[in-house]
Structure 1
Amino acid sequence: MRMRTLRPLLAVLAVAGLAACTGTPDKTEPSSASPTATSSASQSPSDAPAPDTETTVPAPPPSAPPVPTPGPGAGNAELSIMVKPNSTDPAVSYTLVCRDGRSTAESKHPTADAACAALKDNAALLSPAVKDPNRACTEQYGGPQTATVTGIVDDTPVDATFTLTNGCEIGAWAAARDVLGASGGAT
Structure 2
Amino acid sequence: MRKQFISVLLALGVMGGLAACTPDTGTGEPTATPGATSASPGSTPGTPGPVSPEPGKSEPGTTPPDAETTAPAPAPPAPAPLPSGPGTGNAELAITVKPSQDGTAVNYTLVCNGGAPVAESQHPIAAKACAALKGNPAILNQPAPRKDVSCTQQYGGPQVATVTGAVDGTPVETTFMLRNGCEIGAWNAAKDILGSAGGAV
How many angstroms apart in 1 are the aligned matches of 2:97 and 2:82? 24
**Residue 178 (structure 1) aligned with residue 186 (structure 2):** no
- What amino acid is aligned across from residue 190 of structure 2 in structure 1? A
How many angstroms apart in 1 are the aligned matches of 2:193 and 2:165? 12
- What amino acid is aligned across from residue 103 of structure 2 in structure 1? D
- What amino acid is aligned across from residue 151 of structure 1 in structure 2? G
Q: How does 1:1-187 map to 2 (within 5 A)?
A: 63-187=77-201
**Contact map agreement 2:115 2:131 (CA 8 A) in 1:** yes
- What amino acid is aligned across from residue 86 of structure 1 in structure 2? S
Indicate how the Cα distance of structure 1 residues 72 and 89 shifts in structure 2: closer, same or farther if over 3 A, else same: same
Moved over 6 A (4+): none
Unaligned runs of 5+ in 2: 1-74
- What amino acid is aligned across from residue 163 of structure 1 in structure 2? M
- What amino acid is aligned across from residue 128 of structure 1 in structure 2? Q
SS of the residue corresponding to residue 77 of structure 2 reads coil
Partner residue of 1:4? Answer: none
For residue 172 of structure 1, report the CA deviation from its aligned partner.
Answer: 0.1
Indicate how the Cα distance of structure 1 residues 139 and 90 shifts in structure 2: closer, same or farther if over 3 A, else same: same
**Contact map agreement 1:83 1:91 (CA 8 A) in 2:** yes
SS of the residue corresponding to residue 124 of structure 1 reads helix
How many angstroms apart in 2 are the aligned matches of 1:68 and 1:85? 26
- Whose radius of gyration is greater, 1 or 2? 2
**Contact map agreement 1:145 1:185 (CA 8 A) in 2:** no
- What amino acid is aligned across from residue 153 of structure 1 in structure 2? V
Indicate how the Cα distance of structure 1 residues 117 and 175 shifts in structure 2: closer, same or farther if over 3 A, else same: same
For residue 67 of structure 1, report the CA deviation from its aligned partner.
Answer: 1.6
How many angstroms apart in 2 are the aligned matches of 1:65 and 1:165? 23
Indicate how the Cα distance of structure 1 residues 95 and 155 shifts in structure 2: closer, same or farther if over 3 A, else same: same
Partner residue of 1:29? Answer: none
Q: TM-score under structure 1 normalisation?
A: 0.64
How many equivalent residue pairs?
127
Q: TM-score under structure 2 normalisation?
A: 0.59
- What amino acid is aligned across from residue 167 of structure 1 in structure 2? G
**Contact map agreement 2:79 2:172 (CA 8 A) in 1:** no
For residue 132 of structure 1, report the CA deviation from its aligned partner.
Answer: 3.1
CA RMSD of aligned residues (A): 1.8
SS of the residue corresponding to residue 73 of structure 1 reads coil
- What amino acid is aligned across from residue 126 of structure 1 in structure 2? L
Query: Among the aligned pairs, what percent are the same residue?
Result: 59
